[in-house]
Chains A and B, each alone.
Chain A
Amino acid sequence: MQLPERSVLVLTSLAGGDKHGYALIKDVEAFSGVVLSPGTLYGALARLEEGGFVERLDADDRRYPYRLTPAGRAALAERLAESARIASLGLRRIALAE
């Protein structure tokens, strides 16, 4: 499954620990500057949950925390490694061109 950018942000946030919606939005905004809307966030969470990458935990004061599953962790690691490889290649080429 090809992970969209927003899903990568959500998975990266959940890699730091279980979070509910509001904490996810604040965390993603803090580390990436991307401001997610509730619709976008839950659209991404729905796809990730359907794909088995995250799971919803029991409600905690009317809020449901989400947790990264082992499959989600593996998918995130693979996607970030690919991004790192492309970033490294791009940076090398820029350095050669200068």
Chain B
Amino acid sequence: MDRALAWVLLLYPRHMRRRYGQEIAELTRDLIRLERRSRVRLLASLAVHGLGCRMARFARTRVATAVAVTTSVACVAFVNMGAASAKPPTPHQATVQVRAVAHGPAGRADGWWTSHRAVVKHGSGLEPRAARR
């Protein structure tokens, strides 16, 4: 068996290689010799088909199941980590988010500071706090 063909046949699952490997090699040689088919195209076709068979077999094995379970567990753990880090704001954080509003004597903002009203943003809403003088 020529070396390139032997390498290509390695792409097939073992059970298929053992049962049909010799026949596939014989047939490929016959097609190249008798039918003048392109050797490169035949080898490429065998490689693609071998990989397809291997992937199909892999999908059916327990290894695939183990990989799927491990991935699922990792995804759940990752999502839970993200949820745990997204905590609600603490009171200390809320006091930082303060907005001051200036009012003039006639309700106008005329440039001098007479009073202010603090609005504390806490959670998702705005809550008025007592006005201080």
Minimal Cβ-Cβ distance residue in A for B8: A39
A20 CA to B20 CA, complexed, in Å: 12
A17 is an interface residue with CB less than 8 A from chain B = no
Per DSSP, are chain A's interface residues mostly helix, strand or loop, or mixed?
helix
Indicate if the CB atoms of A39 and B50 lie closer than 8 Å: yes
Mask of A36-63 contacts with B, CB within 8 angstroms, 1/0: 0111111101100000000000000011
Q: Is there contact, CB below 8 Å, between B23 and A25?
A: no
User: Is A46 a contact of B46 with CB atoms below 8 Å?
Assistant: no
Question: Which residues on B sit within 8 Å (CB–CB) of A42?
Answer: 16, 20, 23-24, 27
Return chain A residues, CB-CB under 8 Å to B26. Answer: 21, 62-63
Query: B120 — which chain A residues lie within 8 A by C-beta?
Result: none
Find out whether the CB atom of A41 lies under 8 angstroms from the CB atom of B27: yes
Given A25-B31, A46-B16, are A39 and B46 neighbors across the interface (CB < 8 Å)? yes
B110 at the interface (CB under 8 A from A): no
- How far apart are the CA atoms of A83 and B57 in the complex, in Å? 30
- Closest-CB distance, A30 to chain B (whole angstroms): 13
Interface centre among A20, A38, A43, A45 (most CB of B within 10 A): A38
Partner of A39, one of B19, B34, B45: B45
A38 B28 Cβ-Cβ under 8 A: yes
Extra pairs beyond A42-B23, A64-B23 (7, CB < 8 Å): A22-B27, A39-B50, A40-B49, A42-B16, A42-B24, A45-B20, A62-B26
Name 27 A/B residue pairs within 8 A (Cβ), A-sorted. Answer: A20-B23, A21-B23, A21-B24, A21-B27, A22-B27, A22-B31, A25-B27, A25-B31, A37-B42, A37-B46, A38-B42, A38-B45, A39-B24, A39-B48, A39-B49, A39-B50, A40-B45, A41-B27, A42-B16, A42-B20, A43-B53, A45-B20, A46-B19, A62-B22, A62-B26, A63-B26, A64-B23
- Per CB-CB distance, the 3 closest pairs between chain A and chain B, nearest first, are A39-B49, A21-B27, A37-B45
